[in-house]
């Protein structure tokens, strides 16, 4: 149980640091947020729990394919905000787009033999 709490606390600290950095320097905060810090920590934790190279390779490859559907959200939100749409509605639209693209990626990916 304590191991889970430590992992959650570390992830929370990273998110809090990104938010603090972004308040002062939005572009640098975006750079830090775009780093795959949580993915890297997840891989380290996974490797520690199950040091299996094939499992890790599948995890890393699936992560790549699942990052792609999330990227359009970061283009949609600023377009909506700059066109007078509220933050919460823009965020909701971005999330809805991402979920839709995840579902499409999962459906198409399985048919293409991707490890997702």
Give the pLDDT confidence of 34-56 residue by residue, as tens digits.
989 889 999 999 999 999 999 99
Q: Which residue has the higher pLDDT, 116 or 111?
A: 111
Those residues whose C-beta lies under 8 Å from the C-beta of residue 32, and which sit 6 or more positions away, are 17, 18, 21, 22
pLDDT at 111: 93
In angstroms, the first-to-last Cα distance of the chain is 28
Rounded to the nearest 10°, the torsion over CA 47, 102, 30, 89 is: -140
The mean predicted confidence, pLDDT, of the chain is 94
Rounded to the nearest 10°, the torsion over CA 21, 26, 31, 34 is: 90
pLDDT tens sequence across 62-92: 999 999 999 999 999 999 999 999 999 999 9
Q: What is the pTM of this model?
A: 0.81
């Amino acid at each position: 149980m304590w191991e889970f709490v430590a992992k959650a606390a570390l992830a929370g600290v990273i998110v809090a640091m990104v938010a603090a950095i972004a308040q002062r320097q939005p572009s640098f905060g975006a750079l830090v947020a775009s780093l795959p810090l949580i993915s890297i920590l997840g891989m380290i934790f996974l490797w520690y729990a199950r040091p299996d190279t094939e499992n890790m390779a599948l995890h890393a490859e699936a992560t790549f394919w699942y990052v792609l559907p999330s990227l359009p959200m970061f283009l949609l939100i600023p377009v909506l905000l700059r066109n007078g749409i509220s933050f919460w509605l823009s965020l909701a639209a971005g999330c809805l787009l991402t979920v839709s693209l995840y579902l499409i990626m999962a459906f198409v990916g399985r048919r293409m033999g991707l490890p997702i």
